[in-house]
Amino acid sequence: MSENTLSSRPVDRQGEAPSPAAGAPMALAGVRILDFTRLGFGAQATLICGCLGAEVIRVESTTRPDPIRVMPPYVPEPGSHGEGFGAATLANATSAASPNRGGIFYKYNTGGKRSITVDARHPKGLALLRDLVSVSDVVTESFAAGTLERWGLGYPEQVKARPDVLYVSMCGFGHEGPDTAHVTMGPTAQALTGLTFMVGLPDRPPAGWSFSYLDHVGGYLGAVAVLAGLAHRARTGEGQHIDVSQLEPATALSGALFFDALVNGRPSRRPGFPTGNRRPASAPGGAYRAAGEDRWVVISCRTDDQWRSLLTVMGDPPWGADPRFSTFGARQQHAEELDVLIEQWTSQGDRYETMDALQRAGVPAGAVQDAADRLERDPQLAARRHFTMLGNDEVAPLPLEGMPVHMAGTPVHTGGRLHRGPPVLGQDTDAVLTELLGMKPSEVEALRAEGVLS
Amino acid sequence: MTGAVRAEGAPTGPGRGAGTPLDGVRVVELVDESAEYCGRMLAGLGADVVKVEPPDGAPSRRQGPFLDDVPGPDRSLAFWADNVGKRSVVVPEGPDGDGAVRALVEAADVLVHTLRPDAAARRGLDYERLGPALPRLVVCAVTPFGQSGPWADFEADDLVLMALGGSMAACGYGPGPDGYDTPPLAAHGEQAWRTASTYAAIAVLAALWWRDVGEEGRGQFVDVSAHECSASMTEWHCMTYLCSGSVFRRGAHPTLTAADGRQVAALNPDFLGPHVFANMLAMLEDEGVAGPLSDPAFADPGYRAGHYGEVWRAMKRLAAANDGERLYRLGQGAGLPWGVIRSPEEVAGDTHLQARGHFVELDHPELGRTVRYPGAPFLAHGSPWRMDRRPPLLGEHTAQVAGEWGVTW
C-alpha cells in the first residue's frame, strides 16, 4: 500500500466511537476520586482510572486554570477545519481566551472526568472540599509538596473527613526527602534518571526525548498506586498516603544497563555509547532510509531465520553469502557495512511497502510513524479503535487517546463511565454539589454569588 | 476452583507478602522478554509470581550482558533487571509441560502470557478453554499487536514498536543544512515493552479489583497490544497534529555544558509565569553572570523573546563556571526545573533517592555477594513494596511451588 493511496483515503472515523457492550460493567465502577491533578503527570494517572470506570472529579479554579487548558496548541473552533483534521490551521490562536481550547488538555483528560470549580482559599470552599473528601474513596493531586497542607487539606485533614481515605500525591521529587522543593518537568526527571542519556548516537551529546515520557510513566505508576492502595484498603480497611515521585518510576527503565555498570564495572558513560539504534539482540537492526523526505523503516533481525528471510525479500543479493555476515556475531561486528548495504535497498522503496513485504516473510519491521501516520494511516490502530471521537460543549469531536488496553469482561472506555469527552471548565459543579452533597440549587447559587465556586 | 485452592492451600511462606496489596495472589507468568516487567511489578506489590520456564530457561536468560561477561542462565543481567522478586519453575517441553502449566494455572489467580492466539490454543491456554473452567482466573495476553486487526500476526520487537508507536520519529538530532542527516532514534531500555508491561500490570490490578470487590466475582481476559501502548506515550504529538495540521519533527533539547563536561537540561519555562525569569535573574546576578539581563527591559516577556540569545549566553556563562551537579542545584535553587543528565547508573548516587530508601541491596548467596537494585516505584508506608528476593535461579522453586500450591505433574 503506497502512502499516497493511503493518504488519499484517510481512515474513516464516522460512527467509530466504540460502543461498549450495552450495560457492560466497568472495572472501577463505584470508585470515586477527588482529583486535584494538573498538567500531564498526575492527570495521566486519573485518566487511566477514569477509563477503567472510576468517577473522577477534577477540582479546578477559574482564576488559576490548569496551564494545559490555556496553552497552545489550540483545538480549532467547530467547523474551522476542512477535510480531515490535518487541514486545521493555527488561525484561531485567540483561543487562549477560553480555558477549554488548550490541546494538551485533551490528551490528558479523557476518561470521562468531571470538572468542578471551587476556590480552595475561601473558607466555604475549603469546607466544601472537605465534604467532598468525606464522600470520596481517593484524593489525588500533583501540586508542589506542602500545597494541600497550606490549604488546610493535607492528609491529616483528609483523614478527619474520611478515616480510610486513600491519598495519592504525585509530585516531581515526592513529599519526603531532602530535595522535595526541587521542581521537575518530564525532561528534568528524564535527565536525572538516565532516560535522556539513553537516546543518542555514539560520541555525541545525548539527543534525549523531545517529549515528557516520564509524565506518562509517572502517571502509570500513579494509577498503580491508586489500584494498590484500593486493594490494600479492601483487605485491611486502612487508607494511607502514597507518595509518588517522577524519579522512582524511572530507575528500573534502564534494564540491564544499570547492572552492567554496577556489577561489571562497565560505565554507560564510555566511548561508543549509547549506540544509537544498535542493540545487543538485533543484527542487523536499526532505522533505514526509505523513499521520500525523511522517511524511515526499522528492521530488526533477532534470529538467523529472520536474517535469511530478509535476504530473500531483498532478492538474495550476492553479498548475502559474505563471511562478514555469516553469523549473528559477525553481523554485529560488521553492522556498519551491513547497514549501508541494507539502506541501498530500503531507500528505493516506500516505508510501508517495505514493512509489509518483510512482515509477510516473518521479519520484524515497521515504518517510523509520526502522529499523522498514527491518526490517518495506521490500519492496526484504526482496526483496534485506538482513537475515540469525543468532544464537549465547546469543542467538536476529536479522535482522542485513552487507556490502550482491551478488557473483555469490564470494557475500558476513553469516555469513562459517562462516555463523554474532556470536561468544559466547571461544567459539573452544580451536578456534583447537588448529587453528592445533597445541596439545593438555591444553595449552590448562593455559594456562586459569594465567589466560592470560582 | 482457583479461589478454593487459594483459600485452603498453604500460605506463600512465613510472613511473605504480609501487608502488601497482593498478598496471597498467585500469578503464573509464561512470557518472553517483552512482558517480564509486568511480573516484576506484581511481585513488588506482593503477589507470588511464578515464572514458568522451559528446561533451557526463559529467552532473557540467554540475553547479555552477563555477570563478568560469562554467559549462563543465572548470570544474565537483563534477566536480573526484570525478574527480581519472582520464583522459577521449570516444566518439560511438550504435552507433559502443557499439563504442568495447566495445573499451575488452575491453582492461580492470574495468568500473564505472551502467546499468540494459535500458540495459546495449541497449549490449551486459550481463554475459550480456560475461561469456562476457571471463571475466577484473570488471563492477560501481552502481544506485539493484540489479538485482532490486520497486523495481528506481524512480528515486532521493542525497536519496531518504538518506530510504529511514534516516539522514535520524535527523538533524535535536528536537521543539518541539507536536512536530516541522522536517523530517528529509539531509547535504550526497551521502553515500548516496559510501557506495555506496565499497562498489563494496571489491567491485572483492575481485573482483580473487579473480581474481588466488584459485583460479579469473575475473572476475565485482558488483551494488551504493545503497539497500542507504545502509540500512547508521545504526550502532545497527536493533539498538535489535530490542532495545527503540522507534525512534530525531532530535534534535541538544548543543553548547557558545564565546566566538567557534563550536560544539564536547562528548561526555562517562561509559560509558567513571570516569576520564572525573575528567579533566574536573581540567581544569575548572585553568581555574577547576569550581564545585560539586569536591564529592566528583559522583564518584559516580549522583549525577552526577541533577545533570547542574551538569556542563553548568560546561562552558558553560568555553566562554564560550575560543574554539572552544582549547575543543577543552582537552577533548582532558583525554582527552575533543571536536571543534570546522568547515566542510568549515576542515579544510584542520588542523595534524595537514597534518603527515600529507594535502592535495595539483595543477597545473591550463590555468588557470595549482594547486588543493588532499583526498588519501590513509590513510597507506600501502609503497604510497603516487597523487595526481598533476588531473581530466581533456573528452576530454583520447582519442588517448592509444587508443594505449596498442591500441584503435581
Please report the pLDDT score of residue B6 as a whole number: 33
Query: Cα dist. B2→A40, A415, B31, B92, B102 in Å?
Result: 39, 34, 21, 23, 12
Q: Which residues of A touch B68 (CB under 8 A)?
A: 264
Q: Which residues of A touch B80 (CB under 8 A)?
A: 256, 259
Q: How far apart are CA A453 and CA B278, in angstroms?
A: 32
Q: Which residues of B touch A406 (CB under 8 A)?
A: 146-147, 222-225
Please report the pLDDT score of residue B11 as a whole number: 36
On whether any CB of chain A is under 8 Å from the CB of B93, the answer is: no
Which residues on adjacent β-strands are paired with residue B338? Answer: B266
Query: Which cell goes with A85?
Result: 483534521
Q: Is A103 in Cβ contact with B239 (below 8 Å)?
A: yes
On whether any CB of chain A is under 8 Å from the CB of B351, the answer is: yes
Question: What are φ and ψ of residue B344, in 5° steps?
Answer: -55, -40
Mean pLDDT of A417-439: 97
On whether any CB of chain A is under 8 Å from the CB of B227, the answer is: yes
Q: Is A215 labeled as catalytic in the residue annotation?
A: yes
Please report the pLDDT score of residue B308 as a whole number: 87
Q: Which CATH class is domain B2-233+365-405?
A: alpha beta
Q: Is B332 in Cβ contact with A298 (below 8 Å)?
A: no
Shortest Cα distance, chain A CAs vs residue B73, angstroms = 15
Shortest Cα distance, chain B CAs vs residue A202, angstroms = 12
Please report the pLDDT score of residue B17 as a whole number: 64
Please report the pLDDT score of residue A96 as a whole number: 61
Task: List, in order of start, the domains of chain A with CATH numbers.
Answer: 12-252+385-449 (3.40.50.10540), 285-376 (3.30.1540.10)
Query: Cα dist. B202→A222, A404, B43, B206, B234 in Å?
Result: 10, 11, 13, 6, 19
Q: How far apart are the first and last CA of chain A?
A: 53
| Phi-psi group of A232: left, alpha or beta (phi > 0 → left; psi -120 to 50 → alpha; rest → beta) | alpha
Question: What are φ and ψ of residue A153, in 5° steps?
Answer: -135, 30
Q: How far apart are CA B106 and CA B304, in angstroms?
A: 66
Q: How confident is the model at residue B10 (pLDDT cuts 50, 70, 90)?
A: very low
Please report the pLDDT score of residue B69 as a whole number: 97
pLDDT, tens digit, 9 for 90 and up, residues A16-28: 444 455 578 999 9
Q: Is A75 in Cβ contact with B169 (below 8 Å)?
A: no
Please report the pLDDT score of residue A13 as a whole number: 42
pLDDT, tens digit, 9 for 90 and up, residues A33-60: 999 999 999 999 999 999 999 999 999 9
Please report the pLDDT score of residue A69 as a whole number: 94
Q: Is A216 in Cβ contact with B232 (below 8 Å)?
A: yes
Kindly name the residue from A35, A119, A215, A373 that is annotated as catalytic. A215
Q: Over 90: is that where the pLDDT of B32 sits? A: yes
Which of A175, A168, A172, A205 lies closest to A190 in space, CA to CA? A172
Please report the pLDDT score of residue B273 as a whole number: 75
Which residues on adjacent β-strands are paired with residue A287? Answer: A298
Q: Over 50: is that where the pLDDT of A86 sits? A: no
Nearest CB partner across the interface for A85, out of B242, B339, B355: B242
Q: How confident is the model at residue B276 (pLDDT cuts 50, 70, 90)?
A: confident
Q: Is A372 in Cβ contact with B247 (below 8 Å)?
A: yes
Q: How confident is the model at residue B312 (pLDDT cuts 50, 70, 90)?
A: very high
Q: Over 90: is that where the pLDDT of A146 sits? A: yes
Q: Is A29 in Cβ contact with B185 (below 8 Å)?
A: no
Q: How far apart are CA A229 and CA A175, in angstroms?
A: 17
Which of A427, A422, A428 lies closest to A392 in space, CA to CA? A422
Q: How far apart are CA A242 and CA A193, in angstroms?
A: 21
On whether any CB of chain B is under 8 Å from the CB of A379, the answer is: yes
Please report the pLDDT score of residue B301 as a whole number: 86
Q: Which residues of B touch A243 (CB under 8 A)?
A: 378-380
Q: What is the DSSP letter of B172?
A: S
Q: Is B206 in Cβ contact with A28 (below 8 Å)?
A: yes
Q: Over 50: is that where the pLDDT of A90 sits? A: no
Q: A10 or B330, which is more confident?
A: B330
Instruction: Report the residue of B111, B220, B364, B379 to disrupt the A interface, i.e. the one with the largest count of A CBs within 10 Å.
Output: B379
Q: How far apart are CA A78 and CA A72, in angstroms?
A: 17
- What are the domain boundaries of chain B? 2-233+365-405, 263-340
Shortest Cα distance, chain A CAs vs residue B255, angstroms = 9
A/B interface, count of CB pairs below 8 Å: 537
**Contact assessment for residue A349 and residue B111, using Cβ atoms and an 8 Å cutoff:** no
Please report the pLDDT score of residue A79 as a whole number: 55
Q: Which residues of A touch B238 (CB under 8 A)?
A: 107, 371, 374-375, 387, 399, 401
Please report the pLDDT score of residue A82 as a whole number: 41
On whether any CB of chain B is under 8 Å from the CB of A422, the answer is: no
Please report the pLDDT score of residue A225 as a whole number: 98
Please report the pLDDT score of residue A21 as a whole number: 52
Mean pLDDT of A418-447: 98
Please report the pLDDT score of residue B409 as a whole number: 83
Chain A residues 336-365 within an 8 A CB cutoff of chain B: 359, 362-365
Q: Over 80: is that where the pLDDT of A85 sits? A: no
Query: Helix H segments across B14-70?
Result: 36-44
DSSP result, B300-317: SHHHHHHTHHHHHHHHHH
On whether any CB of chain A is under 8 Å from the CB of B247, the answer is: yes
Q: How far apart are CA A248 and CA A173, in angstroms?
A: 9
Mean pLDDT of A89-108: 74
Q: How confident is the model at residue A95 (pLDDT cuts 50, 70, 90)?
A: low
On whether any CB of chain A is under 8 Å from the CB of B360, the answer is: no
Please report the pLDDT score of residue B274 as a whole number: 81
On whether any CB of chain A is under 8 Å from the CB of B117, the answer is: no
On whether any CB of chain B is under 8 Å from the CB of A190, the answer is: yes
Query: For the packed helices B158-165 and B191-212, what is the interaxial angle rounded to 10 degrees?
Result: 90
Mean pLDDT of B30-48: 98
The per-residue pLDDT of chain A, averaged, comes to 91
Please report the pLDDT score of residue A22 as a whole number: 55
Longest Cα pair distance anywhere in chain B, in angstroms?
81
Nearest CB partner across the interface for A268, out of B215, B344, B377: B344
Shortest Cα distance, chain A CAs vs residue B408, angstroms = 30
Q: How confident is the model at residue B46 (pLDDT cuts 50, 70, 90)?
A: very high
Q: Is B338 in Cβ contact with A27 (below 8 Å)?
A: no
Give Rg (Cα) of chain A: 25
Q: Percentage of chain B with pLDDT > 70?
A: 96
pLDDT, tens digit, 9 for 90 and up, residues B328-350: 999 999 999 999 999 999 999 99
pLDDT, tens digit, 9 for 90 and up, residues B256-273: 999 999 999 988 777 677
Chain B: residue whose CA lies nearest to A343: B183
Shortest Cα distance, chain A CAs vs residue B355, angstroms = 6
**Contact assessment for residue B44 and residue B391, using Cβ atoms and an 8 Å cutoff:** no
pLDDT, tens digit, 9 for 90 and up, residues B166-211: 999 999 999 999 999 999 999 999 999 999 999 999 999 999 999 9
Sheet holding B138-143: strands in order across?
Answer: A405-407, B221-225, B138-143, B110-113, B26-30, B48-53, B87-90
Please report the pLDDT score of residue B16 as a whole number: 54
Q: How confident is the model at residue B214 (pLDDT cuts 50, 70, 90)?
A: confident
Chain B: residue whose CA lies nearest to A104: B236
Q: Over 60: is that where the pLDDT of A302 sits? A: yes
Q: Which residues of A touch B337 (CB under 8 A)?
A: 172, 183-185, 187-188
Burial letters B228-237, b for 16+ CB under 10 A, else e: bbbbbbbbbb
Q: How far apart are the first and last CA of chain B?
A: 18
Please report the pLDDT score of residue B329 as a whole number: 97
Q: How confident is the model at residue A93 (pLDDT cuts 50, 70, 90)?
A: very low
Instruction: Please tell me whether the interface predicted TM-score (ipTM) of this complex is above 0.85.
Output: yes
pLDDT, tens digit, 9 for 90 and up, residues A189-226: 999 999 999 999 998 999 999 899 999 999 999 999 99
Q: How confident is the model at residue B253 (pLDDT cuts 50, 70, 90)?
A: confident
Please report the pLDDT score of residue A2 as a whole number: 34
Q: Which residues of A touch B185 (CB under 8 A)?
A: 199-201, 207, 276-277, 287
Chain A residues 84-143 within an 8 A CB cutoff of chain B: 85-90, 103-104, 106-107
Nearest CB partner across the interface for A174, out of B155, B189, B379: B379
**Contact assessment for residue A325 and residue A334, using Cβ atoms and an 8 Å cutoff:** yes
Mean pLDDT of A70-95: 56
Please report the pLDDT score of residue A78 as a whole number: 62
On whether any CB of chain A is under 8 Å from the CB of B233, the answer is: yes
Mean pLDDT of B378-384: 95
Q: How far apart are CA A219 and CA B369, in angstroms?
A: 35
pLDDT, tens digit, 9 for 90 and up, residues A303-360: 999 999 999 999 999 999 999 999 999 999 999 999 999 999 999 999 999 999 999 9
Instruction: Report the residue of B42, B139, B202 to disrupt the A interface, i.e. the one with the largest count of A CBs within 10 Å.
Output: B202
Least confident of B47-56, B93-102, B299-308: B299-308
Shortest Cα distance, chain A CAs vs residue B150, angstroms = 6
Q: Is A220 in Cβ contact with B198 (below 8 Å)?
A: yes
**Contact assessment for residue B382 and residue A232, using Cβ atoms and an 8 Å cutoff:** yes
Query: Cα dist. A407→A3, A25, B36, B118, B140 in Å?
Result: 33, 11, 20, 20, 9
